[in-house]
């Protein structure tokens, strides 16, 4: 009944500028309810090369007039998007629930996060300090050569392609941080809808276009196309009018897009947030004080959202001891209480089941705990699975430990001496996060470990857990490769706007012809770096 009711409001077409588009000869696909396997109407069409070209041509045509709008106009657009999304009401939540199996309560919270992001970027754009205005005034009397007047600020790149993520259908998708960050910077956006929740994407895209109409913005400032295979995504990245790409997903997917962009006649940046094992180090003082409490929080973090977070703590290190045994026993008991639940889509579920099976068959890894209730594979359910190994197993089969398994699974490694903490920290690839549970005395004793971790991750957590990211100005959600393709940039938080801008310098220009942010009178009252 739910699918039939919602199908009446969806058309399954691409939204290119102000028009619907759908080639009747194009291949089609449908979303499926992960919990039931039911196909969800309507069918969605694969975008053609002509449709992709139309979307990016409109975006290019919209770029100059859109970037020239005052900051207030772009801020109002982002606020209008938030208003329009909230106006979708239960229809949006119900469709997203049907397509992802995420609970309605989770989706309600995520919608608030997404609209809050949009309003947060609106405030950032309106304030204007993010433009990083810098002024070095002329010194005509300087010797041996006069100094020219030099001023610079950040300006938008141009049309941006955003790929929606599967695990956050609102907050990292059509209206996610990449989209609102790019729009706030002055870049038109073409979204590649995620094929696992295309109906949700259509509803959100229609809200964005309604907001653009509310604000009387040029056609092409936003478009969205569908595609199930890799062809549509590849064509978007390789289109000559695309200036930057934002992606959240698997290492394989992100690296493929990055390589395509690098092979273009004119390469462009791909800001991909990809895989991460998010290591956790349990230092002796913390284990002695609160091993059971750490275990409870750990299992909650591992299984949050059926483990489908890029910040899932997938690898834990601790020293062999009675407190460590207590931690393992308590973690196993907590894992047994976790009921399996449907994962986002059948593909993610298959990959998780295959990954768990391969680890269970591997030498050196043993099961340390699992959900007591068996998973229903017909409902794409993922069960919690903990593994345990010693330090030698990590040395012999590092690929089992340092590669992400997306889902409610984690591996605990028991070390025999503190030096092994530093050994394995050095072996880690780049990660989004690392977590340390310890006392202040532990931090002093293990200062070398902390210094190593600072070179490996984008966010260091003390006595907490990496899941549950706070969306704020100071947040950095990134890290060295393979966590991301560029460790400077964040995919969450307002600093993400810098993915979509570049510095532009003006030398010797008349004051009246400079952008307002650089004029002597400083009409926006910005904080500027001067002289």
Instruction: Express each pLDDT in 178-218 by its tens digit.
Output: 999 999 999 999 999 999 999 999 999 999 999 999 999 99
Mean pLDDT of the chain: 96
Residue 7 predicted with pLDDT over 80: no
Average pLDDT score over residue span 425-450: 97
pLDDT attached to residue 129: 95
pLDDT attached to residue 306: 97
Average pLDDT score over residue span 473-501: 96
- Topology of domain 279-462, per CATH? Aldehyde Dehydrogenase; Chain A, domain 2 (3.40.309)
469 φ, ψ (degrees, to nearest 5): -80, 130
Residue 357 predicted with pLDDT over 70: yes
pLDDT interval class at 3 (50, 70, 90): very low
Instruction: Give the residue among 135, 144, 148, 180 at the shortest CA–CA distance from 162.
Output: 180
Residue 6 predicted with pLDDT over 90: no
Average pLDDT score over residue span 292-304: 98
Cis peptide preceding 63, ω within 30 of 0: no
**More confident position, 7 or 91:** 91
Of the candidates 99, 202, 219, 273, the residue annotated as catalytic is 273
Distance in angstroms (rounded) separating the CA atoms of residues 236 and 243? 10
Distance in angstroms (rounded) separating the CA atoms of residues 213 and 206? 11
Element (DSSP H or E) covering residue 6: helix 2-7
pLDDT interval class at 163 (50, 70, 90): very high
pLDDT attached to residue 275: 84
Maximum distance among all Cα pairs of the chain, rounded to whole angstroms: 81
Domain positions in the chain are 47-139+157-274+486-504, 279-462
> Alpha carbon of 248 to those of 73, 203, 254, 255: distances in Å?
28, 20, 7, 11
Average pLDDT score over residue span 58-66: 98
- Decide whether 47-139+157-274+486-504 matches 279-462 in CATH topology: no
pLDDT attached to residue 9: 87
pLDDT attached to residue 339: 97
Between strands 150-156 and 134-136, the pairing is antiparallel
pLDDT interval class at 308 (50, 70, 90): very high
Is 310 an annotated catalytic residue?
Answer: yes
pLDDT attached to residue 2: 30
Average pLDDT score over residue span 480-499: 96
Of the candidates 51, 60, 219, 310, the residue annotated as catalytic is 310
pLDDT interval class at 229 (50, 70, 90): confident
pLDDT attached to residue 333: 98
CATH 3.40.50.720 fits 47-139+157-274+486-504, yes or no: no
Cα atoms in the Cβ-side hemisphere of radius 13 Å centred on 172:
21
What percent of the chain stands above pLDDT 70? 98
Residue 5 predicted with pLDDT over 80: no
Q: What is the DSSP letter of 147?
A: B
Average pLDDT score over residue span 272-284: 96
Residue range 22-55, pLDDT digits in tens: 999 999 999 999 999 999 999 999 999 999 999 9
pLDDT attached to residue 331: 98
pLDDT attached to residue 136: 97
Q: Which long-range contacts (CB under 8 A, 24 or more apart) does 41-45 make?
A: 41/3, 41/4, 41/6, 41/7, 41/10, 42/7, 42/10, 42/11, 42/12, 42/199, 43/12, 44/12, 44/193, 44/195, 44/198, 44/202, 44/226, 45/12, 45/13, 45/14, 45/226
Average pLDDT score over residue span 446-460: 98
pLDDT attached to residue 138: 96
pTM listed for this prediction: 0.95
Average pLDDT score over residue span 282-301: 98
Is 399 an annotated catalytic residue?
Answer: no
pLDDT attached to residue 400: 86
């Amino acid at each position: 009944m739910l699918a039939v009711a919602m199908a009446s409001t969806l058309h399954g077409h691409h939204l290119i500028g102000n028009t619907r588009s759908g080639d009747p000869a194009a291949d089609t696909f449908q979303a499926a309810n992960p919990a039931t396997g039911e196909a969800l109407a309507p069918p969605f069409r694969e975008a053609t090369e002509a449709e992709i070209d139309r979307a990016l041509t409109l975006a290019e045509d919209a770029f100059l007039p859109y970037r020239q709008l005052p900051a207030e106009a772009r801020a109002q657009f982002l606020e209008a998007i938030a208003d329009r999304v909230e106006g979708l009401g239960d229809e949006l939540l119900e469709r997203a629930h049907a397509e992802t199996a995420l609970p309605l309560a989770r989706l309600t919270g995520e919608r608030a996060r997404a609209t809050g992001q949009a309003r947060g970027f609106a405030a950032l754009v309106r304030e204007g300090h993010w433009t990083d205005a810098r002024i070095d005034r002329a010194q005509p009397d300087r010797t041996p050569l006069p100094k020219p007047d030099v001023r610079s600020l950040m300006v938008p790149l141009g049309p941006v392609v955003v790929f929606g993520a599967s695990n956050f259908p609102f907050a990292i998708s059509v209206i996610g941080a990449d989209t609102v960050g790019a729009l706030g910077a002055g870049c038109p956006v073409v979204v590649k809808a995620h094929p696992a929740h295309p109906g949700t994407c259509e509803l959100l895209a229609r809200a964005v276009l309604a907001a653009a109409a509310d604000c009387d913005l040029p056609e092409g400032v936003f478009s969205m196309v569908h595609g199930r295979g890799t062809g549509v995504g590849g064509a978007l990245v390789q289109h000559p009018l695309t200036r930057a790409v934002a992606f959240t997903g698997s290492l394989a997917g992100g690296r493929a897009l990055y390589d395509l962009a690098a092979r273009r006649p004119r390469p462009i940046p791909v800001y991909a947030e990809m895989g991460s094992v998010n290591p956790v180090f349990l230092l002796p003082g913390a284990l002695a004080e609160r091993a059971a409490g750490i275990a409870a929080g750990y299992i909650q973090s591992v299984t949050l959202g059926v483990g489908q977070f890029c910040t899932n703590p997938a690898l834990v290190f601790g020293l062999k001891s009675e407190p460590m045994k207590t931690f393992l026993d308590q973690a196993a008991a907590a894992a047994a209480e976790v009921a399996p639940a449907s994962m986002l889509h059948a593909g993610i579920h298959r990959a998780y089941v295959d990954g768990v099976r391969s680890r269970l068959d591997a030498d050196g890894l043993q099961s340390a705990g699992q959900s007591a209730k068996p998973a229903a594979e017909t409902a794409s359910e993922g069960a919690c699975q903990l593994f345990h190994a010693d330090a030698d197993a990590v040395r012999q089969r590092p690929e089992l430990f340092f590669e992400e398994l997306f889902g409610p699974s984690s591996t605990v490694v028991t070390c025999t001496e503190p030096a092994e903490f530093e050994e394995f920290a050095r072996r880690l690839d780049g990660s989004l996060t690392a977590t340390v549970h310890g006392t202040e005395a532990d931090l002093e004793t293990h200062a070398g470990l902390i210094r190593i971790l600072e070179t490996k991750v984008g966010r260091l957590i003390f006595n907490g857990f990496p899941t549950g990211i706070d969306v704020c100005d100071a947040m950095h959600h990134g890290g060295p490769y393979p966590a991301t393709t560029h460790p400077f940039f964040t995919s969450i938080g307002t600093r993400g706007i810098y993915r979509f801008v570049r510095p532009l310098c003006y030398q010797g220009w008349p004051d009246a012809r400079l952008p307002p942010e650089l004029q002597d009178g400083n009409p926006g009252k910005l904080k500027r770096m001067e002289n």
